[in-house]
Structure 1
Amino acid sequence: MSKYIQAIGIWFLIIPLAIINGGLRENILIKLGDIALLLSGIILSICIFVVAYLLIPKIKNCKQTDYFIFGIIWFILTNLFDLFMYISEGGGIKDLLGSYNFLTGNLWILVVITTFISPIVVSKIKKRKGEIKNV
């Protein structure tokens, strides 16, 4: 199976975590007030990194550029998924771009950056530990 298809498959495993995180934010964290968005962004970012840490090394025969491409793919898919969610709720690209404003307490930008860099950072950590070898 193509390593890029595997990376996309791993990204799809993040979706249920994002949905659960959204439910946690809307049903529990919201009671904490303005800090809810902040905590939700941090929690989701940690979940994304953990998934990458556990599963990205399972993709074999990767060059360092492959991990960079995985990050780009994850970045694009994450933004397309979020845009689709806004559109399904009657919003659009303006809403997606608004979610990048961290001054509102929304850490979506942290989530997107984490999505992009996680495969790259994981590859460097695992390579240093001798757990993966680049081709």
Structure 2
Amino acid sequence: MAPNLYLYSLAVWVLLVFLAIINGISRGLYVPYTGELLAHQMSSVIFSTVIFVVTYAFLKYSGVSGTSVQFIYVGLMWVSLTVSFEFLFGHFVVGHSWDRLLHDYNLLEGRIWLLVLIVTAISPWLANRLLS
């Protein structure tokens, strides 16, 4: 059933893109109260939680199955799509500079976007393990 797993996983990733946009818009509502850095950190933790919850619900209710390796591939596919979308769309469509796009990867400045990517990568595998 691997083809369904990958096809459904792609659809879930598209859903996650929309949820990321909503998360980003929501962040703008609390930036004035928290400051930009704390808002970024809160948004990253919130979205990491959303990613795992959506992934868990998808696997629990969709009926798709696969091996641990296939779920690792799904996570790697999601991370690849996310980073590609972020940089290609962010640079060529929105017009952000490469420096601005790389800014969220700077852990030394308290930027924790990497947490979102790590959660994105491991959520399919971890959710599958929890449901097995």
The TM-score bracket by the shorter chain reads 0.7 to 0.9
State the alpha-carbon separation in 2 of the partners of residues 56 and 30 from structure 1. 37
1:77 is matched with which residue?
Answer: 81
Write the distance in 1 (CA, Å) between the matches of 2:63 and 2:80.
Answer: 20
Determine which of 37, 42, 47 is the counterpart of 1:39.
Answer: 42
TM-score, normalization by structure 2:
0.86
- What is the alpha-carbon distance in structure 1 between the residues aligned to residue 24 and residue 100 of structure 2? 17
Aligned-residue CA RMSD (Å)? 1.7
Distance in structure 2 (CA, Å) of the matches to 1:123 and 1:96:
32
Q: Does the CA contact (< 8 Å) of 1:29 and 1:36 recur in 2?
A: yes
1:105 alignment partner in structure 2: 110
Could you tell me which runs of 5 or more consecutive residues in structure 1 were left unpaired when the two chains were aligned.
128-135
Q: Which has the higher helix share?
A: 2
Cα displacement (A) at 1:86: 2.0
Deviation at 1:6, TM superposition (A): 0.8
TM-score of the superposed pair, with normalisation by structure 1: 0.84
- 3-state SS in 1 of match to 2:121: helix
Offset at residue 48 of structure 1 (A): 0.4
Q: Is the 8 A contact 2:48 2:115 kept in 1?
A: yes
Of 48, 52, 55, the residue aligned with 1:52 is 55
